[in-house]
A and B are shown apart, each in its own frame.
Chain A
């Protein structure tokens, strides 16, 4: 049971380039989400999904796209990277059965630098 996995661990992009951050979980969790962590800011929710085919925006969605074609995978796409997207990105997942089943478990993070 690998839990939540993220690839790559590190990435450097030039302004305007596109890329996809990968997130996968093998716990059959319905809920998946993406956060970004900036210095002194804590984590902020970008997008989330409550199941395959369903996605919604979080607090800071601009500049990011997501889709959820399977329960296991929830990729985050940057269509045209900007220096303001330099951050550490975390993927998280949880069951969706109410109560503390909703506790979210995090992947190891991806450190992205946009030059």
Chain B
């Protein structure tokens, strides 16, 4: 079984600042995927960014980027030029590779990010 740990229950930064959310995971799998999901007050789960473990290059999506350290089992999310709309719960999630098929996600407990005006 795998576990996902988000050690920061809550973070608060000023608008336009850069913020990094941490995530570590524990697994014996060698092939897997990692995700960050955002959950605003509307409670909709929104995919932010995703990473395939076999790819060394860190994924980026506009203002969002990850720092993937496979050996350290670390998958942090960096948000640049933070905006008020980034205020939300952020969940890190792990999915093992299942012979080409999909599998369930294992989630961390989340980080509540607050962007202050």
Q: Which residues of A contact B (CB under 8 A)?
A: 30-31, 33, 35, 40-45, 48, 50, 58-59, 88, 90, 92, 94-100, 102-106, 108-109
A-B contact count (CB 8 A): 69
CB of A109 within 8 A of CB of B43, answer: yes
The 7 residue pairs across chains A and B that have the minimum distance between CB atoms:
A98-B100, A31-B102, A106-B45, A42-B107, A45-B104, A102-B102, A43-B107
- B111 to chain A minimum Cβ distance, whole angstroms, is 11
Contacts of B104 in A (CB 8 A): 33, 45, 48, 58-59
Given A90-B45, A95-B102, A100-B33: A40 and B52 interface contact (C-beta under 8 Å): no
Contacts of B107 in A (CB 8 A): 35, 42-44
CB of B109 within 8 A of CB of A40, answer: yes
- B94 to chain A minimum Cβ distance, whole angstroms, is 11
CB of A96 within 8 A of CB of B91, answer: no
Given A105-B47, A108-B43, A109-B44: A98 and B105 interface contact (C-beta under 8 Å): no
Q: Chain B 88-115 against A: per-residue CB contact (8 Å), 1 yes, 0 no?
A: 0001010101001111111111100000
- B48 to chain A minimum Cβ distance, whole angstroms, is 11
Contacts of A50 in B (CB 8 A): 101-102
Per the bound structure, the CA–CA distance linking A40 and B109 in Å amounts to: 6
Contacts of A97 in B (CB 8 A): 100
